[in-house]
Amino acid sequence: MAELFLGNVEESVSDEDIGEFLIRYGFPRFSSIKRVLGTGSRPGAVVVFDDVPTDGLRILQNRVHNLFWKNHTIVAQLLPERDES
């Protein structure tokens, strides 16, 4: 499982829009999205890919990092893998 944090994504942007945006830049379909409320100015989303290794996302991350989308510059960061045990 790999997780990608997308910063500067407004709450009004739908999960479907996020999925279409990522697919346009070569990402596979996501498994789930968790919204992260910012301090009002920098909301984001954690996009979870269950069947994608972190190294696979690392290659794709640069395609969307610092890209201007929906009136904001998107920040894309891989989240470190967590031990769920």
DSSP assignment of the chain equals: -EEEEEES--TTS-HHHHHHHHHHTTPPPPSEEEEE--SSS--EEEEEETTS-HHHHHHHHHHHTT-EETTEE-EEEEPPP----
CB contact at 8 A, 51 and 31: yes
pLDDT digits (tens, 9 = 90+) for 1-11: 899 999 999 98
Per CATH, the number for 2-78 is 3.30.70.330
Angle at 47 (CA atoms; ends 56, 57), nearest 5 degrees: 10
Q: Where are the domains of the chain?
A: 2-78
From first to last of the 85 residues of the chain, give the pLDDT tens digit: 899 999 999 989 999 999 999 999 999 999 999 999 876 678 999 999 998 888 889 999 999 999 999 999 999 999 987 766 5
Tokens linked to 70: 């929906």
- Name the one residue in this structure whose structure tokens are 């690392």: 58
